[in-house]
Amino acid sequence: MYALLRGIHLKEVNNSSFFLPSVCLGIMEFKGNQLSALRSFAFGFKVPLGHKQLQTGGPAILGTFFCVNQRPRQDQSVKKQVIPQNVDLPPILPKKKKKPYPIPLKKIQQAARDDKKLAEMGIEKPLDPPKNGLLVPDLIPVAYEVLDAWKVLIKGLAQLLHIVPVYACSECPEIHVAEGGHHIQDCHGPTSVKRRSFHSWVKGSVNDVLLPIESYHMYDPFGRRIKHETRFDHDRIPAVVELCIQAGVDLPEYPSRRRTNPIRMIGKKVIDRGGFVEEP
């Protein structure tokens, strides 16, 4: 039986030695004192009494050895790679169930305590752009790219609907891409009981594929809040467009205020807002 160890020249192994899957015992003859551990092996040597110590270039010494094979453990924390297109969609929660906070409640409460301590000591609250009303220069080109990509998406989807048939239910947000609607009884619309949960299919449009999420356009996002009585005085535009405008996109039909001085706050109190400006 032949075995090769790093830094040890193994000449002969006695036939009386036996090997197990992870442990091997036997007698060997070696030269030199270069004993270096391998990555996947942990071994030790036991030399009988009466023999000389190991020396560089010394005589060969007969001794017993004990070798343990330690296989590298597999990392159990490594998860399988999931392709994004195969990820399941989030489940549809019932309307009565409360939605979770985007930020954990404990973090919100801790941030409020920190702001309260700074306010009690009279220290101004540190604000970084865009929270202080100033634009982030690196986000301006990204905002233009997002707006252009959104336009291309709307235009391409409108052209695709002329070729690929899409049907949408007039009572629930479900859509079906096929020559006709299916007959699965899973409609949860307001009149689903009368229709025995069958869908009411109609010809689909762009708004059925991309659900329109709108937002109020504000000339000054840090100005006066929109109240219930004044909600009709503000335009409603897609939320993506409003985010791009606040990030730095300039649209003539939807102007926005650009500050040169940052907003200053102590706790929840605004020290310097730059004054209120009338909307054009």
Position 248 confidence tier, pLDDT thresholds 50, 70, 90: very high
Mean local confidence (pLDDT), 147-151: 95
Distance CA 206, CA 184 (A): 23
* Number of Cβ atoms within 10 Å of the Cβ of 197: 14
What would the pLDDT profile of 48-76 be if each residue is shown by its tens digit?
444 444 444 455 545 555 555 555 555 55
Q: Mean pLDDT: which of 72-81, 145-154, 206-215, 263-272 is highest?
A: 145-154
Q: What is residue 189's three-state secondary structure?
A: coil
Mean local confidence (pLDDT), 196-218: 91
Mean local confidence (pLDDT), 22-46: 46
Residue pair 265/125 in contact by the 8 Å Cβ criterion:
yes
Which pLDDT score, from 0 to 100, does residue 48 have? 45
Q: Is the pLDDT of residue 42 over 70?
A: no
Q: Mean pLDDT: which of 20-34, 90-104, 211-225 is highest?
A: 211-225
Mean local confidence (pLDDT), 244-267: 90
Which pLDDT score, from 0 to 100, does residue 30 have? 46
Average pLDDT, the chain: 76
- Of 4-8, 129-133, 159-163, give the lowest mean pLDDT range: 4-8
Distance CA 274, CA 182 (A): 58
Opening angle at CA 213, ends 262 and 243, nearest 5: 20
- Of 159-163, 222-226, 241-245, give the lowest mean pLDDT range: 222-226
Opening angle at CA 106, ends 101 and 109, nearest 5: 100
Strands of the sheet with 23-30, listed across from one edge: 18-19, 23-30, 61-69, 41-46
The pTM score is 0.60
- Of 156-170, 222-236, 243-257, 261-275, give the lowest mean pLDDT range: 261-275
